[in-house]
Structure 1
Amino acid sequence: MNQLNGRAVDMETLRKLALVGYGHFTSVRVDNQLARGIELHLERLVRDCRTVFDAELDPGEVRGHLRQAVAGTTGALVARVTVFDPELEVGRPADSGCPSVLVTTREAGPLSSPPLRVRPVEYARDLPHVKHLGLFGALYARRTAQRAGFDDALFHGPDGTVSEGGTWNVGLIRAGRIVWPQADVLPGVTMALVRRSAHQHVTAPVTLQDAQEAEAAFATNTTVGVRPLSAIGATEMAVDHPLLREIQHAYRADPGERV
């Protein structure tokens, strides 16, 4: 299903999106037309649209497009809402101010994905607080990590301060608390939902050594929920920590709300 502003999208419009690649998006996991954190996804789109296009986005209209795209579906799927301007010219991006809403859907895998082995990589995304379309750097880091025998990359700065993963936030378990890195990261929806739990959450600077010495570590992402990290570099991590199981159970128990 591919719809632009609620109507079937033509290939020429998709070609413009592919060639220019300027815009922002959010991906929403939808299980039998129910989605966790839908209001947070809409808030992200409105916030990012102001940053990327200096334009106001109507969250009710966006939700209507999303609802139309998933109407009548069953099972699990990922709906991606991309905001971009089909008329944007590479030479004059400042002239853009009328973004459109593209909704695409694909099948989603299970929430019980196997643990991730991650390779520390020095990298920082451009404009990290925006979920924009500039994925080259993150995907290149993921590719190099996979070619080195890992599943994904864990980003850190020149001083070794951990930030986030390629397309996910990272959390640590230390002394009965959930620690989130204090760094320039994407404010993830799944991370925000996990932070609503009754557990103790803190935000603090995290070095690679801190991460490797944690009792457990996990990734959060709308597609897979809460996914344990089984290794950070050469350091093996526990994947069956009781608190980690509690976080996973609480997230999966959240039925979400109807799109």
Structure 2
Amino acid sequence: MVTLDGTPVSADDLLPLALTNVGHFTSMRVGEDGTIRGLSLHMERLVRDCKIVWGADLDAGRVRECVRQGLEGQSRPCVVRVTIYDPKVEMGHPASADEPHVMVSVRGAGALPPEPLRAMSVPYERDLPEVKHVGLFGALHARRTAQLAGFGDALFVGRDGLVSEGGTWNVGFVDGGGTVVWPEAPVLAGVTMALLQQHAEYRVATVTLEQAKGMAAAFATNTSIGVRYLSAIDETELPTEHPVLSQLQETYLSIVGEAL
């Protein structure tokens, strides 16, 4: 079931989103107990991005109510996606759309933690990287390219040669001294990354592709996967039994979820 402002969505409602691809969203993993890790951060993201994309204020309370309605009867754990868009948006006059609506969709969630990931470096830079927008063509094309080459996903490298993020995840590293390193680059700052930064020591630094391959360990983070080890970048194998990786997974799983 997909809902728009709490009611079943129609094909006519979805058509403007499909044809213009203008909007923003957040995805949240709902635990078996119905709570969500980082719920407040997800709401802050939606409110912030709504101002950037639509120039409008978003009522976080209304969003929560729409999510509660969308989760009724759904099995858990699951992943709920909240997409904010205006059904009036059209390609010729996008500036005329300024009344965003709340679309909620739900899908099943995989087990935590997932299997280690093999990532292929792909040259790519996201448009407006600080906003979690629905313009996913470039990211998904990079993911498809990586998967056709036998990898699980793409690791983005900018024109400056610096590693930034993954297809739909943040990437982190563990250096030779056991310190967590988050890349300094234009990225979408994920909620899972923010939660880990609140609970584990880290530093932020530029990371070249060569440096990434020379790290003691690497991992991916997002709400669906939590902390996922990277077992390879291109043809360079990476260890998946580093103690810091285990600590990060344990830290994430210990974070108490928030009730809707």
Scaled to the shorter chain, the TM-score interval is over 0.9
1:147 and 2:148 equivalent? yes
CA distance in 2, matches of 1:49, 1:183: 23
Distance 1:45 1:172 in 2: 27
Report the residue type matching 1:13 in the other structure: D
Once the two structures are overlaid, the 10-residue window that deviates more, 224-233 or 155-164, is: 155-164
Cα distance in 2, alignment partners of residues 141 and 82 from structure 1: 22
Equivalents in 2 of 1:111, 1:41: separation in Å? 20
Q: Which residue of 2 aligns with 1:250?
A: 251
- Cα distance between partner residues in 1 of 2:211 and 2:61: 42
Moved more, 46-55 or 14-23: 14-23
Give the drift of 1:71. 3.2
Q: Show the 5 A alignment for 1:23-172.
A: 23-32=23-32, 33-172=34-173
Aligned partners of 1:4 and 1:101 also within 8 Å: yes
Q: Which residue of 1 aligns with 2:188?
A: 186
- Over the aligned positions, Cα root-mean-square deviation in angstroms equals 1.0
Secondary structure of the residue aligned to 1:35 is: coil
User: What TM-score does the superposition give when structure 2 sets the normalisation length?
Assistant: 0.97
Q: Which moved more, 1:3-12 or 1:174-183?
A: 3-12
Match of 1:13 in 2: 13
Using structure 1 for the length normalisation, give the TM-score: 0.97
1:37 deviates by 0.3
Q: CA deviation at 1:72?
A: 4.5
Asked if the contact 2:2–2:9 (Cα under 8 Å) also holds between the matched residues in 1, the reply is yes
Segments of structure 2 that go 5 or more residues without pairing to the other structure are: none
* Partner AA of 1:193 in structure 2: L
> Matched residues in 1 for 2:95 and 2:258: separation?
37
Moved beyond 4 Å, runs of 4+: none
Question: Kindly, what percent of the aligned residue pairs are identical?
Answer: 53
Q: CA deviation at 1:15?
A: 2.3
What code does the residue aligned with 2:29 have? Answer: R
Match of 1:173 in 2: 174
CA contact under 8 A between 2:170 and 2:190: conserved in structure 1? yes
Aligned residues of 1:31 and 1:74 also touching (Cα < 8 A): no
